[in-house]
């Protein structure tokens, strides 16, 4: 474990951003070496002084703490999250010092649910952390949520989208910065069924660039057989049938790995002539499917469920490499995009890229935001008592800023962070990692005047009456 304290001059971007994959991996390796040294360094096993507000971050990275070369490894998201947590630690540490306080983040690594729980125990008992952030993958997030309930310590989920975590498995001490399955599926349904989408672009002939011209009516769902993917398949149906008039499912197949079965699925897609094929598949399966889809020569538009790993530039580059024609120009939903420029996003993205030589992608933003929120709580609520932190975050006083152009708050009924999501369009032949996607709009539109921000953001995800969460009393 290592305690992350801000570096002098944190926040001062002084270098240009290398964008090639080679430079990206090289800088990652350098950071990895430093991280490994930190991990091996002997540390005093004393609890933090009470004046230091400390958060524990559980990174899903191996002992080398490096960026894996496989675009489908969960460590890709874990590594981005680690950098996001470090950025949050630097910024909130600097802010705390301005106010005569202390805040830092203790980092541990874990690659399994059991290891994550052990790490959480050490972070709380030894490092004195009042809150834990992490949770890459549903099982790990669930294990940490259960730990949080048992130990009565705050847990911020930054890496799992599962609706069950917000529903029947919800916990009073658990808060979700990562968006839920329901939010991502609602965003996809909203974007594709709405049809016309454009960007204001002064250089375009008419001052705008048309991104889409026609609504997506005919949806073809390809879902994995595991229960979580079937739950997502049902929620996709709900998104289309209950909320988004005009979109209908014309094909709905369950697909597992067999090559022969993929051929059958491709044939079914070809016969259905959908407007969109939505892949409710894991990262590996999305890459594999897209490769075969490309080979088959089908031309229907494809999007995929945006698990955190699939939002990274590394994965998107892998997707474009596997299926340049089919993935190029395709639209995907993400929690955050490193090329977003509005509402302070340009400054945040630039600052992060310059400091960490890594794009601020969805997983990095989630970790950064989680640390920022927990730091804000410690500074504003003047408490690190977990029960008081929970009450504060549930109250109207918890006004949160994530550079998303609108005030962010937690839903009281399931502790999900209300927030807009970004839609990005993949770009082949971009030549660098940053260029593999461009943001093409936020869902919902946060700039429309005259509505309460909570109402605006509650267009995504499940409302109180739909929630199966029943919190314990603290």
**Minimum distance between the CB of residue 346 and other proteins, rounded to whole angstroms?**
6
What is the CA angle 459-194-293, rounded to 5?
Answer: 110
Q: How far is the CB of 192 from other proteins (least distance, A)?
A: 27
Residue closer to other proteins by CB (options 292, 388) is: 388
Residue whose CB is less far from other proteins, 77 or 345: 345
* Torsions phi, psi for 362 (to 5 deg): -55, -55
* Shortest reach from residue 459's CB to other proteins, in Å: 15
From the list 67, 72, 59, the residue with the least C-alpha distance to 304 is 72
- The kind and range of the H/E element at 118 are helix 113-125
d(CA 154, CA 133): 8
Q: Say how far apart CA 130 and CA 330 lie, in whole Å.
A: 42
Distance between CA atoms of residues 270 and 414, nearest Å? 40
CB 74, min distance to other proteins, A: 29
Q: How far is the CB of 10 from other proteins (least distance, A)?
A: 8
In the chain, what is the straight-line distance between the N-terminal and C-terminal CA atoms, in Å?
30
Q: Which is nearer to other proteins, 10 or 253 (CB)?
A: 10
Q: Count the neighbouring beta carbons within 10 Å of the beta carbon of residue 51.
A: 7
Closer to other proteins by CB, 301 or 401: give it. 401
Is residue 62 helix, strand or coil?
Answer: coil
In the bound state with other proteins, the residue whose beta carbon lies nearer, of 232 and 404, is 404
Residue 296 or 354: the one with the smaller Cβ distance to other proteins is 354
Q: Report whether 1 contacts 123 (CB < 8 A).
A: yes
- Tell the smallest beta-carbon distance from residue 224 to other proteins (Å): 39
Find the shortest distance in angstroms from Cβ 182 to other proteins: 23
197: region left, alpha or beta (phi > 0 left; psi from -120 to 50 alpha) = beta
For residues 61 and 407, which CB has a smaller minimum distance to other proteins in the complex? Answer: 407
Token readout for 2 is: 């290592």
**In Å, what is the CA distance from 409 to each residue of 88, 155, 176, 399, 413?**
18, 16, 11, 6, 12
Cβ contacts of 18 within 8 Å, gap of 6 or more: 24, 26, 27, 357
203/429 with CB nearer other proteins:
203
Q: Given the rule CB under 8 A, which residues bind other proteins?
A: 9-17, 91, 94-95, 98-99, 202-203, 341, 344, 346-348, 350-351, 353-354, 376, 379-380, 399-401, 403, 406-407, 447, 449-453
Q: Smallest gap, in angstroms, from Cβ of residue 8 to other proteins?
A: 10
């Amino acid at each position: 474990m290592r305690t992350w304290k801000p570096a002098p001059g944190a926040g001062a971007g002084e270098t240009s951003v290398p964008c090639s994959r080679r430079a990206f991996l090289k800088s990652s390796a350098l950071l990895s070496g430093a991280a490994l040294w930190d991990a091996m360094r002997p540390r005093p096993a004393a609890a933090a002084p009470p004046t230091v507000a400390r958060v524990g971050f559980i990174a899903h990275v191996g002992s080398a703490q490096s960026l894996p070369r496989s675009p489908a490894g969960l460590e890709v998201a874990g590594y981005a999250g680690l950098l996001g947590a470090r950025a949050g630690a630097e910024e909130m540490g600097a802010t705390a010092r301005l106010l005569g306080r202390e805040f830092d983040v203790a980092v541990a690594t874990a690659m399994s649910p059991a290891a994550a729980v052990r790490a959480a125990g050490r972070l709380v008992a030894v490092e004195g952390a009042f809150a834990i952030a992490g949770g890459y993958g549903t099982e790990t997030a669930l294990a940490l949520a259960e730990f949080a309930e048992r130990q009565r310590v705050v847990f911020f989920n930054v890496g799992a989208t599962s609706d069950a975590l917000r529903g029947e498995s919800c916990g009073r001490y658990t808060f979700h910065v990562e968006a839920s399955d329901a939010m991502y599926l609602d965003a996809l349904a909203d974007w594709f069924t709405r049809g016309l989408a454009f960007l204001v672009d002064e250089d375009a002939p008419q001052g705008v660039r048309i991104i889409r011209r026609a609504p997506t009516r005919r949806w073809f769902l390809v879902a994995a057989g595991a229960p979580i993917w079937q739950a997502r398949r049902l929620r996709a149906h709900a998104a289309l049938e209950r909320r988004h008039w005009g979109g209908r499912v014309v094909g709905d197949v369950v697909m597992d790995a067999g090559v022969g079965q993929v051929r059958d699925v491709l044939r079914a897609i070809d016969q259905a002539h959908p407007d969109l094929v939505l892949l409710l598949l894991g990262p590996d399966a999305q890459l594999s499917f897209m490769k075969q889809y490309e080979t088959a020569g089908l031309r229907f538009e494809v999007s995929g469920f945006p698990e955190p790993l699939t939002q990274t530039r590394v994965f998107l580059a892998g997707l474009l490499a596997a299926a340049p024609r089919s993935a190029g120009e395709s639209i995907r939903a993400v929690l955050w995009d490193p090329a977003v420029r509005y509402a302070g996003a340009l400054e945040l993205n630039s600052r992060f890229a310059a400091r960490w030589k890594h794009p601020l992608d969805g997983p990095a933003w989630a970790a950064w935001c989680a640390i920022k929120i927990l730091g804000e709580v410690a500074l504003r609520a003047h408490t690190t008592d977990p029960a008081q932190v929970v009450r504060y975050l549930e109250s109207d006083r918890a006004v949160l800023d994530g550079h998303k152009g609108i005030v962010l708050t937690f839903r009281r009924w399931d502790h999900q962070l209300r927030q807009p999501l970004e839609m990005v369009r993949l770009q082949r032949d971009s030549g660098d990692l940053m260029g593999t996607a461009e943001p093409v709009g936020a869902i919902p539109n946060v700039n429309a005047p005259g509505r309460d921000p909570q109402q605006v953001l509650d267009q995504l995800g499940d409302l109180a009456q739909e929630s199966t969460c029943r919190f314990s009393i603290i």
